[in-house]
Structure 1
Amino acid sequence: MNTTEPVPAAEVIDGVLQLTIATSAAGTSMDFDLITAGTAALRALDPSVGAVLLTGAGANFCAGGNVRDFAGADDRGAYLYAKATDLHDFVRALIDAPVPVVAAVQGWAAGAGMSLVCAADIAIGGPSTKLRPAYPGIGFSPDGGMSWSLPRIVGLSRAREILLTDAILGADEAVRLGILSRTVADTDIRTESLRVATSFVTGPRATHTAMKTLLAQSPTATLTQQLDAERDSIAAAANSETGQEGVNAFIAKRKPNYTTITA
C-alpha cells in the first residue's frame, strides 16, 4: 500500500508561490498534473505573492519527461504535441511572471527539467547537481524553450555543443556557464532557495517587475531602444510609491518599508 502523502501542486507560503514539478513517482519525471496546476496558479497570481519557487519533491529536481508514457501512447506524435503544449504554457507563464522565479535544483535536471532551470531567474544547485539535455538519447529535439534560452545563457556556439553532444554538466561547470547562479551544500539547496525567494517578498516588487521587463526585451532591442526603455522605466519609478519610499528611506537613513505597497 502506498502511504506517500500527495504533494501540493501549488501553494503560497509566506508570500512565495511554491510550485512542485516532479515527485519521486515515475523516477522524478515531470508530472504534468503539477505542471498544468502551476500554469493556472501563475496566471492567477495573487498580489500577495512576491516570488515563485520551483522544486522537485524527490531526489531530483526533474529527470525530464516520462519516456514510458511516451512509448505507451497510441500516437506518440500527438501525445508529445499535447504534452509540449502544456509545458510551453507553463514556460510562458513563468517568463511572464512579474516576480522573481527561483529554482531549487537538487540532483538531476534533465530534458525538460533543464529547460525549466534555464527559464528561472535564479537557479541554486549543489555539488551533486547535474544537468543534461537528454533529448538525443531518445531521438528527440528539445522542448521547454531550451533551444531559445540556452544560447542566450551560454552563447550559441556552446549551446550547440551542449545540445548536439548531449553533454552532462556538473555543478561547477553549470555555474561557470551561468546556467546555475551558484551552489550551496546539497542539503541546503531547498532551504537556501526558499530563503532567497522569501527575501523578495518584502522587497521592492515594482522594481523587480521593471527589471524583469527590461531584461526580457534586451536580447532583441538595439542599444538606443534599451536606453530609451531604461530612461522611461527609471522616470516612472521615481514617481511611484516604491521609488518614493526608497529615496525617502535613503535620505532618512532608515530601512525602506515596501510591505504596504502593492503596485
Structure 2
Amino acid sequence: MTDYRNILFSHEGGIARLTLNRPERLNSFTARMHEEVADALARLEGARVLVLSGAGRGFCAGQDLNDRAVAPGERVDLGESVEQRYNPLIRRLTSLPFPVVARVNGVAAGAGANIALACDIVIASKSAKFIQSFANIGLIPDSGGTWVLPRLVGQARALGLALTAEPLPADKAAEWGLIWKAVDDEALDAEVDALAQRFASAPTRGLAAIKRMIRESWGHSLGEELDLQRDAMRELGYSDDYREGVAAFMKKRAPNFTGR
C-alpha cells in the first residue's frame, strides 16, 4: 500500500516520520488509518529513529466514533477492534529496535493519548493536553493505558486521570513524569528535530538494547536483571559502534556510528 490518504510518511537519512493526517477530525483513527499506519510501520528498514506526530492543531483524538456508527440499541464488539487494530499498533511501537519520539502538538485524547505514551520519548508543546477520555463513554483506558499510567505516575494519579477524564496540561504531565518534556509551542519542531538528528547518528544497537531492557525490567527481579545486563554488555561490547565510540573518545574526535 502506497496510496496513503490518512497519513504522511517519509524515510530519509535514518529518520522516519509518520504524521497522522486527518486534521479535520483531530487525527482520530478509522479502520483505513490503522491500515495505513500498519503499512508504514512495516517500511522502516534502515530507520534509526521514528517521529510520530499529528497534523493540524492536535496529535490524535483516539477513535473516530463515526467510523463505527451503530443503530440505537445495536451492540458492537469493541474487543475485536482493540485486538485487531490498537493492540498490534502498541506492540509494534514499543518493540521497534530504535527510539520512537512522539511530537505532541495539541490534544492527545483517548487512545491517542496512550499511543503517544507508548512512544519512548514524548515531547509536547505547552499548549498540549493529555485526556483519558474513556470514562465519559463508559469505557476503560485501552491501548495500554491501564498498564502504563500507574507505572508512570502512580496509582492515585492514574485513577484520578482515568476516572475523571480531566485534561492534563503538558507542563504538569512533564512534572508528573508522564512525558519527557514540555516546551514552548514555537520551540517544539526544533526540539523534536534536534533529537531525531541525534538519534539518527547515535549507536542504534545500544539504544535499542536500552529501550528493550528498561521496558522489560518491570517483569524481572534484580538478580534476573543483573544477568540480562551482563549478557547485553557482552553482546554490545563486540559491536562496531562500541569500538568506534571508544576510539573517538580516545582520539578526542566526533564518533561516526553506523548502528552496527
Same fold (TM over 0.5): yes
- Of 35, 41, 61, 2:59 maps to 61
- Of 57, 62, 69, 1:71 maps to 69
Q: Is the alpha carbon distance of 1:141 and 1:8 closer, same or farther for their aligned partners in structure 2, counting shifts above 3 Å?
A: closer
CA distance in 2, matches of 1:6, 1:224: 49
**Matched residue of 1:52: which SS?**
strand
Deviation track 1:152-211 (CA, whole Å, cap 9, x = no partner) reads 211223212211121210112100122221122213323421321222111100111110
Deviation track 1:47-72 (CA, whole Å, cap 9, x = no partner) reads 2x110111111210011211233334
CA distance in 1, matches of 2:235, 2:83: 38
Extract unaligned runs of 5+ from structure 2.
none
Deviation track 1:36-95 (CA, whole Å, cap 9, x = no partner) reads 222233234212x11011111121001121123333479552366225521211111101
Superposition map of 1:133-212 within 5 A: 133-212=132-211
**Is the CA contact (8 Å cut-off) linking 1:21 and 1:35 kept in structure 2?**
no
Kindly state the Cα deviation for residue 8 of structure 1 after the two structures are TM-superposed. Answer: 4.3
Q: Is the alpha carbon distance of 1:152 and 1:102 closer, same or farther for their aligned partners in structure 2, counting shifts above 3 Å?
A: same
**Matched residue of 1:109: which SS?**
strand
- Determine the structure 1 residue equivalent to 2:236: 237
**Is the CA contact (8 Å cut-off) linking 2:241 and 2:259 kept in structure 1?**
no
Q: Is the alpha carbon distance of 1:141 and 1:79 closer, same or farther for their aligned partners in structure 2, counting shifts above 3 Å?
A: closer
1:122 maps to a residue whose letter is I
TM-score (norm 1): 0.89
CA distance in 2, matches of 1:240, 1:15: 19
TM-score (norm 2): 0.90
Deviation track 1:88-144 (CA, whole Å, cap 9, x = no partner) reads 111111011011000110110000111012101111112211111000111122211
Extract unaligned runs of 5+ from structure 1.
none
CA distance in 1, matches of 2:5, 2:80: 27
**Is the CA contact (8 Å cut-off) linking 2:8 and 2:18 kept in structure 1?**
yes
Kindly state the Cα deviation for residue 15 of structure 1 after the two structures are TM-superposed. Answer: 1.8
Superposition map of 1:4-153 within 5 A: 8-47=7-46, 49-72=47-70, 76-78=75-77, 81-82=80-81, 85-153=84-152
1:157 maps to a residue whose letter is A
- Percent identity over paired residues: 32
